[in-house]
Structure 1
């Protein structure tokens, strides 16, 4: 079986953790015998914008081809506008930017189907290419299509409808996303839920680190790892922390990640009087994030519009109790007071109560962490994700034969 993966979210020299979940899936598919090549379209904008903005200049420095862990990855350019202007047509522009490369790869590689990640722009480009090559295509929805793109304008809504109508299968990473998509489009016969995963070797490494951690002598650690953007709810963690510092004088809060909200969060920490308890440690490698997880007592990320949340299962794999919000994709695996704690979104009191419960009941917190770890081991490895994904591929290919 030969597959072409199209995903603008993929590790590159610009960002080695971007789309790491897509890369991990591709590696797992390869280990199962699937032959996979990857096309990761890179946004391109003309002069002088590409020189004015550091972000756009760094995009231009990404090589056109590289090899990640034995996976061949091409990075063709496609025309993009700043601030997501004209986003509804981004799929068409991606198609025009990558079609010659993809058709050349098809002549050499003869892939059986295309697997795109996100419907717009990647899914739209895959849809047009699949028609050109007379092969099927599958699209995985990770959240942005249904939380953001669908609400932009009617043109985006129409474009998504096209992609979903013509896709041979639509994979969603959580049942919450399936529910949202079903409310908008009549495509229930194509929908499947396949959760993300983490690499099995890193699960064991993480647990070994946790077992040998010296953190017990360093006080209590609360941890978050995410982009520092509003919807991740880091400010709510800070406000909850301010309610607990007198009761837990040894409690410290480690924030891994970077983003546009960093300065605002630092100022908030000062205003709340918790700045001395908080460490902003910046963007880390994936391995370093897992190391911090192995040392933490609680992982808390009270975010909203969370389609799945790989970071939660990573923390759970380390045997840590996690805190997230009700009504999000993580409800597939975070079962309240069983494998983690769920709180009301944007509710400081609910969040502080959850933290207080775990901190004041370490034995129960450990039990919750161990149950969460077992759930991840049994259901959320990339090996299991690959097995389910291959079954989808086979069904699609059987349908078109």
Structure 2
């Protein structure tokens, strides 16, 4: 089977603060000799553009969002009205279709000009709608990835999935959830393909050192600032630990979706309310080099998500041999085995989280064991090259 030579790669609002995974996968695809042509819906808010590679990524990305009335009018006669009407899902669906039509036309034109026969949409939201319309109206082949609960990606999912040549889904749990919801719209080829990380880059140059008696416990969290990421639960756990007499310092890397004017302010107020000004720092959106440096400094990585499809942030910490405490939520169990390569606590349980932090902080042998086992799990199962290999193999079969 001949290998595909060019691949369209469509990511919404690229490059955002959480898009390191996509950038590393793109590099792995290109290392394999496949040219990647980057597309996105629109640039992210300025406050979320944080990486050293962000500017170069933006310069090579074609942004598809368009308000061109002429492009919309030229696309309307091509609409597959029969298929769309069968969806019958209401105003939000039709609004998404109309917004996506000019972008779908532009995507098809750009792909035709560049000799691209296949586009992978790394989302089941508007990016997937654009790709689905480009297929129905202009014959462009596409595939999609599901990174979280189907309900998070808007209406019209059966329309988006039905035209895809193949799909990747990051966990077995998500696949089992979508099967009855999509039914016959699920593509014949579905691959369980987790996100991955660059384990060569995320590798310690000095051995991990567990916390020592009397030393300030250094905790690190990296996640966008959002209620469901459980940041407030971690703040409450830190307050509990301080009240027990433990000296704790927490740094949180990440920003809210508004670039700093949203949930960031809620967390600022909570830090003040709990009296944690001298113990907690909100770092905002930071480059990957800063995240890596903070992981190398940390005694423990803590992320208390209420729901987490899988968790690239956990992978990054584990790759850097930092013991991880997470929550038994969503698909995290497909990454972390409790007590073996990380610790899992129930979501929305600050006291259980504080107990887990305290127990690990007082058990250096356990910390060292989790450090080694966590790194081994990510190297064996969650390298960035696996996703690249999957996309190349499956797109080459189209």
Band the TM-score falls in, shorter-chain normalisation: 0.7 to 0.9
CA distance in 1, matches of 2:171, 2:274: 36
Distance 1:313 1:264, change over 3 A: same
Structure 1 runs, 4 residues or longer, greater than 4 Å off: 212-218
Q: Which runs of 5+ in 2 are unaligned?
A: 49-54, 69-89, 257-261
Alignment partner, residue 57 of structure 2: 68
Cα drift, residue 284 of structure 1: 0.9
Which of 376, 385, 388 lines up with 1:386 in the alignment? 388
Alignment partner, residue 81 of structure 2: none
Q: Which runs of 5+ in 1 are unaligned?
A: 45-54, 60-65, 151-155
Alignment partner, residue 62 of structure 1: none
Distance 1:345 1:79, change over 3 A: farther
TM-score, normalised via structure 2 length: 0.81
Which of 90, 101, 114 lines up with 1:96 in the alignment? 101
- Partner secondary structure for residue 250 of structure 2: strand
CA distance in 2, matches of 1:188, 1:103: 22
Distance 1:362 1:87, change over 3 A: farther
TM alignment of 1:137-286, pairs within 5 A: 137-143=142-148, 146-150=150-154, 156=155, 159-186=156-183, 187=186, 189-204=188-203, 207-208=204-205, 211=207, 219-247=216-244, 249-259=246-256, 260-286=262-288
CA distance in 2, matches of 1:30, 1:87: 37
CA distance in 2, matches of 1:100, 1:142: 26
8 Å contact kept, 1:43–1:78? no
Alignment partner, residue 309 of structure 2: 307
Which of 128, 137, 140 lines up with 2:133 in the alignment? 128
Alignment partner, residue 116 of structure 2: 111
Return the structure number with greater helix share.
1
Q: Deviations over 1:151-172 (max 9, x none)?
A: xxxxx1xx11111222121211
Distance 1:314 1:235, change over 3 A: same
Name the Cα RMSD after superposition.
Answer: 3.0
CA distance in 1, matches of 2:151, 2:303: 18
Cα drift, residue 116 of structure 1: 0.6
CA distance in 2, matches of 1:281, 1:106: 39
- Partner secondary structure for residue 202 of structure 1: coil
Q: Deviations over 1:314-372 (max 9, x none)?
A: 01111011122113222211110111111111112221221122111121012112101
Cα drift, residue 195 of structure 1: 0.8
CA distance in 2, matches of 1:100, 1:135: 10
Distance 1:134 1:292, change over 3 A: same
- Structure with the larger RCO, 1 or 2 (CA within 8 Å, 6+ apart): 2
Alignment partner, residue 38 of structure 1: 38
CA distance in 1, matches of 2:179, 2:41: 29
Distance 1:4 1:90, change over 3 A: farther
